Structure formats: C-alpha cells, structure tokens
Structure 1
C-alpha cells in the first residue's frame, strides 16, 4: 500500500494498492505486445495520439494542476505552467517529428544509402516527483512518436499523478498497454526496477533522478547490455560578470533558484559573482526572494537544513532564511548564503531546495575555475555583455549554456548533461532519436 501526503499539511491524501510480482509481469507482457503493434502503426497515427493527449491536457489543466499541488506541493500557478508546457511539448513533437524521424540520404559509394530511425520496443522510465507530469510527458512523447511503448515507474510520492497520466493516454485513444504505470512501494523499487531492466522484453531505460538511482539503473542496464538515458543531478553555476545588468541577473537568479521551492535539477544553485559587483548583486537578490511553497517531504527539507548549517559552521554567512517554518507541512524559509567557498556543503553538493549560495570571484578566470569545480555538468548561465558572457561561458563545462537567461528546457532543443549529471539527451530530434535503432541501409 502506498500512502500519499499533502506537503503543505502533512495530512494523508490517498491510499493506493500496489502491483505485486504477478501484476507486474502481466503489465510488462501487455506493454511488449502493444510495442509490437505500435511499431507497425504509421507516423501520422502516432502523432495524432500526441495531439489528442495535448488537447486533453489543456482541457483538464485545472484538474491536473490541483493534483500536482496536492501531491508535491508546488503553487497552483506553477502547476498550471507545468501542464501547459506538457501540452506544448505534445504539439512540438507532433509538428516536428516527421522531419526528425524521416530517412536521411547519405552519399557513399553505394547506389543508395540512408539512415532510418526504427522503434526499439518497450522503454522503461523511472521518473521523479518534482515535475510529475513534465518529466513523464517529455519522455513519453519521444518514445511513442518513435514507435515504442512506455512503461513508467513513477515516484511513490506522486502515485495519483502516475495513474492520472496512464488514464490520460487511454482517454486520448492509446491502444491497451501502450502506456502503463507501475505502482510500487518505495522499499521494493530497487529490486523491482532491476528485475524489469533485466527482462528481455524491455528494450531501453531512461531515468531522471539522483546520482545513486542513476548508477543503480546504469549498472543493471549495463549487465543486460541495454541502452540508458540518464538525467541526474546538477549544481549549476550562475555567473555574473562585471559588465552584467545586475538587477536583471538578480531577478532571474531568484526565479531560477526559488521556483518549485528550489527542487529542480536545472535550477541555478551556485551564484558566482565577480567581486566588483558582488555587493550590488547580493542586495538585489535579497530584494527578490519570494514566498514559496513547501518542499515535497520532510526528509528533503532536513537535507537542505543540514547543508545550510554545515556551510555556516564552515564560515558562510547566512543572510536570510534557512530555517523550517513552524506549523504543519514541510516549509523552509528561502535562504541566501554569502561568502561561500569550495568545500562547503552548499558548494560541493546538489542543494535540492531553496538555498542560494553566493561565491565571490576575483575575475573572469577565477569565475570559470569556480564554475568548473564540480562533478556535475547540467546547465550554466552567464550574465554580461553578450560577446563577453559567451566567451566566458564557452570555457565552462555543461550540457547547456544560456547567456543572459536562466537555464530552462525547451521541446525544440536537446536537454541533458555531462559528468555526474548523466548522459544522453531528451527533447528535440536528439531526444526522439535516443529511443530508436539508428539503422544504416545500403543498396549496392
């Protein structure tokens, strides 16, 4: 039995029966059968399903946003924006996939040669709670448009969302078994996931989550010789150069760091600011600190509090926030720490909550050194005059570089990281093609 709770109050929301081993085996068999049939369906029909899903997302946006807010705590306005982004992704994939998946003619010594993109089969997805619809829809649109079936193991915290997404695809006209959600207790997830990855009916695996979860899935998939796409943690640098528009940078910094209560792998976490504008940036950032919703669970809040307290003990200055809010729910006042240096917890670890770490840099070279002083490599945002910021940003290792804008995902652009932030790409042509057999065809 899974019990979901409202992060704003701690109160029980719902109890869900879980799938036992027999039910899981039946669901895997159902998705495998659906994958065989769906691979033979024309691309136009596959994309029509995505358009229908997008239409239902828009029609039910209030219902789904309310569910997101109840299960993981983000404000309703942010939940509505998440649903709208999912609907947008459906439209983008439906519009552009005919080009992304078209055969590519290649000149060679043969009479004809080309590359085709063919389905793999069942794609197993392990997804997190922080964007319970968006993380799933961005994977599902890619997998289904390419002709695969989708099997989801969502976070137990958002079981209602997982089942609502399964019903969404069914209501949109998806064949039986094409998209299924597994309901598995947290303590059974590692064993169940390993068994599913090893199942010969599973073709590939994608995971968004922690380094630990990614390493476990990658190990299981490696033993089974199966492809994986991993989108893991981040400790994204947000670099403010001497010639930046400091007010604009501070406003964007607050949105990036404190949106979704700081629970985003791609949000800015380390604010590396050149000394000459550091005082101005800190004052502007403090003025932009917003009110936020609760964190999703008490243990997540406790981790952020521990990171803040350890950093302060090591010499960082806590300028505001950083303490649990009295009363029900898992609230934490947004924190800004100044004079953070390498080695402190908020510098070296991923802070998955509302804690902004300001690190002062002597100059551009020092800012680059600080930005690259991490095992992560998801996103990077650099602020300054465009040519200057771009030149500095090119020296920072990341999967995405945004100049004078906070890092964000866009269905038209590939998304993913390097280093301990994972590998492979989601979204765009690259994300759709991750779930295909890229086949070479030659006619002599």
Structure 2
C-alpha cells in the first residue's frame, strides 16, 4: 500500500495538534473563495445560454448552495469524512446532523467545523456544475429533487473513497488526487453525460444557432472561477505553508497554458481566437490541474494545462458527432479535463511534491499511472450509472424534461415569471405576454 503524505492531505483525519491561527485564517479565506465559485459559475453558465433561460441557469446554481448545504450538514459530512464503516466505501453516522462536533473540535491544525464547511463548498459547486449539461430543458422542480439525492448517492461516497479515512481509492489503491479531479471534475462530467442522455437534446439541437447571449458575463464568470480556484486548490493544503504556495503557482500556470492552448487551436482551426475560447481554455486548464496541483512540478503543471486546453477544445465538438446534447460542455471540459489531470499524475508526479510516489517520467514506472487509470474508470463508471438511474427514476415519477412549450418560450418566463432583460424573450417564438404566470406586486410596481 502506498503511503501518501503531501499529495493527499484530505485522505484521513490528521492527529489533533491544536488550532493554528495562520492555517485557520487561510482556510477561512479559501472557504469563502470556493463558495464564490458557485455564483461565478452561475454567471459563466448564464452568459452562455440564450436570453430566454438566463435566470433559470442562475437559479440552478444558486439553489444548489441551499440544497447541498442542508444535505451535507444533515448526513453528507459524516458519510464522507466519518470513520470508515464498510470496506472503504462509506463513512459512519457518528456525526449525523454534525453531532459531536463543536468549536473545540480540531482537524489537524484547523477547527473541524471549518474543515467541514470547506468541504461543503466543494460539494456545492460539483452539483451546480452538472446543470450546464442540461441547460434550457430541465424542469426546475425535478432539479430540486435531483440535487440532494445525487449529492448523497454519488458525491458523498466518491468523496469518502478519495479523501475519507479508510477510503479504498486512497488507502488501498494508492491513487493521488490533491483537490478534486475524481470527486468533483470526473464525477460532475460523467453525471452530466448521464443526464444528457436521460433528457435528450434541446429543441433545435444541431439545427438552430445556440450562441452565448452575453460574452462579457461569461468572461466575468470565468474570472471569478479562476479567482476562487486558488482557494479550491491551495486551500486543500489545509494550511498556510509551502505546499499551498506551490499549489497556488501551479494553478495559475495551468490556467494560463490552458487558455493559450485553446486559443492556438481556434486560430489554427477556425482562423479566429475567441473570448469564449479564452474563458473555456482557462477553465479547462484549471480543471486538469485540480487533481495534480499537489503532485507535479511547475513544468508538469504547464504541460498539463496546455494538454487540457488543446484536447478539450476538440472534445467539446464530440457531442455533435456522438449526438448527445451537452449544452454548456460539461463533458468536454470537466470530464475530459478531469481525466487528463488525474491520469497525468502517473506521468509527471515528483517526489518533492508527493512525499513518495513518482510518475513515469521521474523513474516511478507504470505503477502510479495504472493506479490513476483504475481510479478514473471506477469513479466515472459509478457516477454515470448511478446518475443515469436517479435521472430515469425522477423522469418517470415527476418528469425531468421541461414541457416543449416552456422550452420554446423560455424557462425564465414560464417557470420563474421573470426575464433577465426588458425584451429578452422577443424573437423566441412567443410574445412577452404569452404563458406568463401571475406577477408579484413588486413586479407590477416596477412595470
């Protein structure tokens, strides 16, 4: 069994050493940064959809904050990070409802309550990421049911496998994942693919132009995501230390080469480097460095980011060939980017970062590469199959796909009785007054 030190700091509860104020201050800031990523994602996704479903896209991210928080505090945290209860698969229920965890509880050098909150922000954005795969056509009510069920059945077990005490991926397999390539990126990407197949393509897929309606919003969202990603990755060091500094720099470097790689492909293939490409390339690089940021050198981070930017720029077009409608490229960026970053740990890992395991290029042989591949296949398959089953069940019981009329008119108007812009629904096949639920007194006053 491989002993993991720096490369998997979340793998098991650290021995209590008392609270370190510097580490605690950094993790408080990192937690806020990661939470900010979900509103950033909302803007990123909101700018990429058409005007008629902007608010619905924003709502799917924001409501995920509330839903996942309740589930995590009730049972998610103890199942993910409680002592192993069943063969490395799931944690125990000792901390159901956060029982037994008070202000004096310590996880390593930070308060356990802070550690639990930091991990909560990861769970939130992972659920929100999936919404991009089914943008413009999912029932909001069905989404409200899907998110908590998915969090408990998919995110929580995978998190225990990768980071929980006794989780089989870290303890038995010895695969490395510093900040979430497996539980966040691959899980959200595989789950997004499953929901794409459950719901089917949007009306007009491969026929109508479905261009982003607000590219400045996309760029703003990407900027907030990049900003928050420093908390996501460097915060996973769980301390204000040299590891956090190295991870911080690796994160910046990979985002930059991801952006440049995507633009290079666009220029060569299409003749035009685009703002959407720049935003997507940066995110692809950040996705890929997430699992590997604590395992590779700066050179490795630059290469991994570049590889993700180039490969993901091609992967987003696979949906047209394979006929799955991944609306906002969750599969092409998060699944593919997550696989790249997780697998390439087996190529570029260095002992100075991992504290032991090394990749193929640094004399480690094929062993670590094989472990990374097994982890990718296991997590991807589990997330896809369970999500597909949950999606099918919700579709049968409640109906997951929005009504055709609602989808055509736009979910902002038909579901939320609002529009993002004064004339945002014009040109989409229905007048502003069509199919509008009764307005609130506030909306009437504004009118």
Over alpha carbons, which structure has the higher Rg?
1
| TM-score normalized by the length of structure 2 | 0.29
With the length of structure 1 as denominator, give the TM-score of the two structures. Answer: 0.29
Bigger relative CO (Cα 8 Å, ≥ 6 apart): 2
Higher strand share: 1
